[in-house]
Amino acid sequence: MLSAFGTGLGVAALATVATMVLLGRSHRWGARRSTAPQRVPFLGGFEPETHAWSRYHLRYYPMTLLFIAFEMEMMFMYPWAVVYVQEGVKALAEMGMFLSILSVGVVYGYREGVFRWQ
Amino acid sequence: MAVKGPGFPVPVFPASAVDTWGDVQELRARPEVRLVPTPRHASVLLVAGSIPPEHREAVDRVHDQLPHPRATVWWRTDPDAPTRAGRTVEGGPDEVVEAIIAAHLAVAVDPEASEPDRRPDEEAHEWRGVGPNGQGGEGMMGGTPYGRPMAMTGDDRDGLALDQLHLRLGPFLDALPAGMVLDVTLQGDVLQQVAATRPGAPVAAGTTVAPGRQGLHGLAHGLHVQGLEGLAARAAGLALDCGRGREVGPDLVRLRRGIRRSGLLWMLKGTGVSGQVGDAADRWAHRLDRVEAAVGGGAPPESTVLDLDDLGPLLEGRTLGDAITTLVSLDLDLDLVAQGVPR
Supply angle C-alpha B261, B263, B269, rounded to 5: 140
Q: Is A55 on the interface with B (CB under 8 A)?
A: yes
**With contacts defined as CB-CB under 8 Å, which chain B residues touch A56?**
162-163, 187-189
Work out how many CB contacts closer than 8 A connect A with B. 111
- The predicted structure's pLDDT at residue B45: 95
- The predicted structure's pLDDT at residue A9: 94
Give me the residues of B, 286-315, that contact A with CB < 8 A: none
Examine the pLDDT at A98 and tell me if it is beyond 60: yes
The helix/strand/coil state of A53 is: coil
CA nearest to B133 within chain A: A53
Give me the residues of B, 109-148, that contact A with CB < 8 A: 117, 119-124, 135, 140, 144-146, 148
Residue from the list A32, A47, A52 with its beta carbon closest to the beta carbon of B124: A47
Residue from the list A42, A52, A54 with its beta carbon closest to the beta carbon of B65: A42
The minimum CA-CA distance between B63 and chain A, rounded to whole Å, is 9
pLDDT tens for each residue of A53-77: 777 777 788 788 888 888 878 888 8
CB contact under 8 Å between A48 and B124, yes or no, is: no
- The predicted structure's pLDDT at residue B341: 38
The minimum CA-CA distance between B66 and chain A, rounded to whole Å, is 7
Q: Is A40 on the interface with B (CB under 8 A)?
A: yes
CB neighbour class for A9 (10 Å; exposed up to 12, middle 13-18, buried from 19): exposed
Q: Which residue has the higher pLDDT, A29 or B263?
A: B263
Q: Which residue has the higher pLDDT, B113 or A19?
A: A19
Residue from the list A42, A49, A56 with its beta carbon closest to the beta carbon of B40: A42
CB contact under 8 Å between B169 and A43, yes or no, is: yes
- The predicted structure's pLDDT at residue B54: 87
ipTM exceeding cut-off 0.85 for this assembly: no
- The predicted structure's pLDDT at residue B200: 61
- The predicted structure's pLDDT at residue B39: 94
Q: Is A45 on the interface with B (CB under 8 A)?
A: yes
**How many angstroms separate the CA atoms of B236 and B216, rounded?**
7
For chain B, which residues score pLDDT lower than 70?
Answer: 1-5, 80-81, 124-147, 200-210, 275-277, 298-306, 332-343
Q: Is B90 on the interface with A (CB under 8 A)?
A: no
pLDDT tens for each residue of B78-119: 776 677 788 888 888 999 999 999 999 999 888 888 888 888
- The predicted structure's pLDDT at residue A10: 95
Q: What is the DSSP letter of A9?
A: H
Residue from the list A36, A53, A59 with its beta carbon closest to the beta carbon of B123: A36
CB contact under 8 Å between A42 and B64, yes or no, is: no
CB contact under 8 Å between B61 and A44, yes or no, is: no
- Entry pTM: 0.79
- The predicted structure's pLDDT at residue B337: 38
The minimum CA-CA distance between B234 and chain A, rounded to whole Å, is 26
Q: Is A36 on the interface with B (CB under 8 A)?
A: yes
Q: Is B319 on the interface with A (CB under 8 A)?
A: no
Q: Best residue in B45, B51, B112, B165 to probe A by mutation, most A CBs within 10 Å?
A: B165
**With contacts defined as CB-CB under 8 Å, which chain B residues touch A55?**
140, 153, 162-163
CB contact under 8 Å between B189 and A56, yes or no, is: yes
**With contacts defined as CB-CB under 8 Å, which chain A residues touch B145?**
51, 53
**With contacts defined as CB-CB under 8 Å, which chain A residues touch B158?**
57
Q: Is B41 on the interface with A (CB under 8 A)?
A: no
CB contact under 8 Å between B65 and A40, yes or no, is: yes
